Amino acid sequence: MAKKFIIEGGRYLKGEIRVRGAKNAVTKQMVASLLAPGKSVLQNVPEIGDVEITKQILASIGCKIEHDPEAGILSIDAANLSTHRVPEEYSGLNRIPILLAGVLMHRFGAAEIPMMGGCDIGPRPVDFHIEGLRSLGADIRYEDGVYRFSAKRLTGARITLPFPSVGATENLMMAAATAKGTTEIRNAAIEPEIVDLALFLQSMGAIITQETDRTWIIQGVETLHAAQHRVINDRIEAASFAVSAIATRGDVIIKGADQLHMLTFLNWLRKAGGEFETVEGGIRFHGVQSKLKPIAVETGVHPGLMTDWQQPMVILLTQAEGMSVIHETVYENRFGYAETLNRMGARIQLYSECLGGRDCRFRNSGHRHSAVIMGPTPLKGAKIEIPDLRAGFSYLVAAVLAQGKTEISGVKYIERGYDRVVEKFQALGVPISVVEE
């Protein structure tokens, strides 16, 4: 049965919450654990839909999984994998299946992966993954919606990615860990979640070096062994609650918010008038005295402003005095949620030009990837439907700010990526209830 959230708005957030492990780290580490025929253990695992989907995918190919959601401990025993075929039912649920290509080739010499999905934020092709794996020596065919990969053993190669793709870097890093010889991945992604994957692989016996210029060097080893790892905290969840605290003029301590991984976000938050201070084990965000100011920002790959921080940032800027500009340079179609915010009273206009920054790859694509936000605008409650995960959280924040009641449908998107989100908002004083539709 589908669920919806009902929120009584006009509130401010006050209290303390704790963020847990990052969605975009844990699911990749679950996949990486298959490189070793043993039982790996992950700690700080969040309770989110994407972990559940990934558990099901791994169980469907023979992993034995034990999960204590309360303690955040997940063990994956990959000793006896049963098949190199990812069942078709998992295609379209998230971006994980394609990441199994190299891992399954290591275990079986072959992999069959149905076409994958994820949120509806652009076409999200996998050409970089395919070309990279081909460079490592995989034979790859695409037939009837299924990618078929084969290689007795992959061979190290020098690969330059056309764009520093997170998924492609992770896929190639995992594939190269047990390839014959050395692999260089140039123009690679270097997000903290990728460094965390490298750390887990290193604990498993891999030899991975990060150079200063977006290059990963992976010296392939023959085998890896099972290992334990504590997943890095979720800097998207932390930033999302931080913005919620400031936008609602609240006062929230976020335990587990890590300044090191939020440096860029915190700079922009400060420029927008948001106030914060580091405290033991986290960061306190307080917006009671904040005079919110307009800013011009551009999203980008790490160490730039994450594309996943953009949506809550837009909500904050609807409350700033003046005109703000956000130029989205990672995904071509990530402002689909703005129309609904306008229905709630925001004034956001979208443009296909590259506004407020340098020209990006979407310059002449016709995609509306720049937003101009006029503030401050009071928001009012509405009945709304979530289009994707990150937009979903920003609707929640908009609902908390808005006068009146907001009903949010499509909450499965939020549950895919945010740990115990209802409990956390309730703990911060927001009247939010969950009803079946």
Q: Which of 33, 54, 135, 165 binds ligand EPU (CB under 6 A)?
A: 165
Give me the amino acid identity at 229.
H
Segment lying near ligand EPU (by CB under 6 A), choices 75-83, 134-142, 245-253, 300-308: 300-308
Q: Which of residues 316-355 bind ligand EPU (CB under 6 A)?
A: 330-331
Q: Give 189 or 314: the residue with its C-beta nearer to ligand EPU.
A: 189
Q: Which of 368, 268, 373 is nearest to 328 (CA)?
A: 368
163 binds ligand EPU (CB under 6 A): yes
Q: Would the CA dihedral through 298, 301, 306, 310 be positive or negative? A: positive
Smallest gap, in angstroms, from Cβ of residue 301 to ligand EPU?
7
CB closer to ligand EPU, 261 vs 286: 261
State the DSSP string of 278-310. Answer: EETTEEEEE-SS------EEEB-STTSB-GGGH
Token digits of residue 374: 């006029």
DSSP annotation string for 27-39: HHHHHHGGGSSSE
**Strand, helix or coil for residue 397:** helix
- When binding is defined by CB under 6 A, the residue of 17, 168, 188, 272 that contacts ligand EPU is 168
Task: Say whether residue 308 binds ligand EPU (CB under 6 A).
Answer: yes
Determine which one of 63, 119, 354, 360 is catalytic: 119
Q: Is 49 in the site for ligand EPU (CB under 6 A)?
A: no
Kindly state whether residue 126 participates in binding ligand EPU, applying the rule CB under 6 A.
yes
Phi-psi region of 72 (alpha: psi -120 to 50; beta: other; left: phi over 0): left
Angle between helices 263-271 and 235-247 (to 10 degrees): 10
Q: Which is nearer to ligand EPU, 112 or 388 (CB)?
A: 388
Sign of CA dihedral 270, 272, 273, 277: negative
Which alpha helices (H) appear in 158-298, and where do they start and end? Answer: 166-177, 192-203, 235-247, 263-271
User: Residue 135, Cβ neighbours under 10 Å: how many?
Assistant: 18
Q: Does 273 bind ligand EPU (CB under 6 A)?
A: no
CB of 189 to ligand EPU, least distance (A): 6
The answer to the question of residue 300 lying near ligand EPU (CB under 6 A) is no
Instruction: State the pairing for strand pair 322-327/296-298.
Output: parallel
Number of residues that bind ligand EPU (CB under 6 A): 25
Q: Which residues pair with 433 in a beta bridge?
A: 6
Which of the residues 360 through 399 are near ligand EPU (CB under 6 A)?
Answer: 389-390
- Is 354 a residue of the active site? no
Exactly one of 67, 124, 255, 347 binds ligand EPU (CB under 6 A); that residue is: 124
Separation of alpha carbons 84 and 148, rounded Å: 10
Closest approach, Cβ 165 to ligand EPU, in A, equals: 3
Q: Identify the residue among 49, 137, 287, 417 touching ligand EPU (CB under 6 A).
A: 417
20 binds ligand EPU (CB under 6 A): no
Decide: 251 and 216 in contact? Cβ < 8 Å. Answer: no
Tell the smallest beta-carbon distance from residue 130 to ligand EPU (Å): 7
Q: 263 φ, ψ to 5°? A: -50, -50
Asked if residue 135 binds ligand EPU (CB under 6 A), the reply is no
Alpha helices (H) in 33-117, listed in sequence order:
49-60, 100-108
C-beta of 281: minimal distance to ligand EPU in Å? 24
Please tell me whether residue 166 binds ligand EPU under the rule CB under 6 A: yes
Q: Which is nearer to ligand EPU, 38 or 122 (CB)?
A: 122
From CA 183, how far away is CA 218, in angstroms rounded? 5
Q: Which two tokens stand for residue 74?
A: 């997940």
Please list every residue from 58 through 97 that binds ligand EPU, using CB under 6 A.
Answer: 95
Under rule CB under 6 A, residue 194 binds ligand EPU: no
* Catalytic residue IDs: 119
The binding site for ligand EPU (CB under 6 A) comprises 23-24, 95, 119, 122, 124-129, 163, 165-168, 189, 306-308, 330-331, 389-390, 417
